[in-house]
A = this chain, B = another copy of it.
């Protein structure tokens, strides 16, 4: 067993931080044995003590919704409305990923940037392309970082270069599943119908069957904006709501499911979501940038719906999940302004969303409780800690003010993760 000594901060429950000043995390075989104030608590099987001095040690970040092929489009043309932006930027960019060399260049930068910002696990949209999706998975594996990577399935309402037949989609998925679906693998496939407007009923049905047959998780988009919801109602007239349009095809909690946005989820959709234990990937910057609105996260939490945070590059512009915590709090404060019964998210709640709550989608990830995989960040906040701040204020300042410069060391599943290589 190895011991890591530092100022340890994590959340067990959403309402409070666990803080051990100059404490120890014991790690064995990639998993946390426990946290204690003294090394003696771990008995005699300690091989090594790594002392991080006055630094902070926190769980690593999880990005629950991100489009890897939109890395190049990060933070450009934010003035456009959704439709021209998809047609002029998003789809043409994704079409470029038919070229594995282009994919290698962009995806290696993407994985590198996740690393920079301390995101050790991600739930990722790739494109429809087999070769470049395989390459993205390999880049995650080479980096030692966890990811659920989805080859995107879509057959309508985009551009020709991004449409494929159902047979093609199934064959590519099965190729990736054969190669990558080892039960304990850090990098695994996730079934990824882009969203209802992009998928014919037959494509949705094929996706549901794949998820069922291989017992794979599912990701998609849900109730992001009003015109999208109206469109889905037209496309799937028999569905009672947008969520139900997935549910009818076995894509809404029949296997572990995560849905991005859910800005307008309420009523029977929320009811179904709760019953089916579908997780929400809350993407507050994207929802602001794309003028979608403000997701009712307090309502979700009150109902027991699971929530994680997502950067949603390139609807979102920022890969930092620390920034997502800040935005999640700020958006919740605007919801609170409208309805004082919905209290805004506290810092510990936002932190819990980004770590333990999100991490539950990967298994035991996102906390330092015994049995959790040791995904962690060592935070060197010396530049921010110029005047004797409390540990909690130091954490808050790192979250609000810090950046990649403050992340000194990153761990995923017990391994220290070095800087990933860029491909040119």
Contacts and interface: CB of A to CB of B under 8 A. Distances in A.
Interface of A: 72, 74-79, 106, 109, 285, 288-289, 291-294, 317-318, 326, 329-330, 333-334, 336-337, 344, 346-347, 386-387, 389, 393, 396-397, 399-401, 403
30 contacts: A72-B387, A74-B397, A74-B400, A74-B401, A75-B396, A75-B399, A75-B400, A76-B389, A76-B393, A76-B396, A77-B393, A77-B396, A78-B329, A78-B347, A78-B400, A79-B346, A106-B387, A109-B386, A289-B330, A289-B333, A291-B333, A291-B337, A291-B344, A292-B337, A293-B337, A317-B326, A317-B400, A318-B400, A334-B334, A403-B403
A336 B289 CA distance: 11
A147 B74 CA distance: 35
Nearest to A79: B346
Contacts of A289: 330, 333
Given A109-B386, A403-B403, A397 B75 contact: yes
A77 B403 CA distance: 19
A311 to B, nearest CB: 12
A399 B75 CA distance: 9
Contacts of A292: 337
Contacts of A293: 334, 337
A243 B76 CA distance: 39
Nearest to A317: B400
A294 B329 contact: no
Contacts of A387: 72, 106
A382 B344 CA distance: 39
Contacts of A396: 75-78
A294 B293 CA distance: 13
Nearest to A329: B78
Contact of A288 (B285, B334, B403): B334
B76 A333 contact: no
B397 A76 contact: yes
A317 B396 CA distance: 11
Contact of A401 (B75, B291, B336, B397): B75
Contacts of A326: 317
Q: Which of A75, A317, A334 has the most CB of B within 10 A?
A: A75
Contacts of A337: 291-293
A383 to B, nearest CB: 10
A403 B337 CA distance: 31
Nearest to A348: B79
A146 to B, nearest CB: 24
Contacts of A291: 333-334, 336-337, 344
Nearest to A292: B337
A272 to B, nearest CB: 25
Contacts of A72: 387
Given A288-B333, A291-B344, A386-B109, A401 B78 contact: no
A262 to B, nearest CB: 16
A330 B74 CA distance: 16
A318 B336 CA distance: 22
A395 to B, nearest CB: 10
Contacts of A403: 403
Contacts of A344: 291
Given A288-B334, A333-B289, A317 B78 contact: no
A287 to B, nearest CB: 9
A74 B397 CA distance: 8
A334 B401 contact: no
A389 to B, nearest CB: 7
A76 B333 CA distance: 16
A340 to B, nearest CB: 10
A292 B337 CA distance: 7
A323 to B, nearest CB: 10
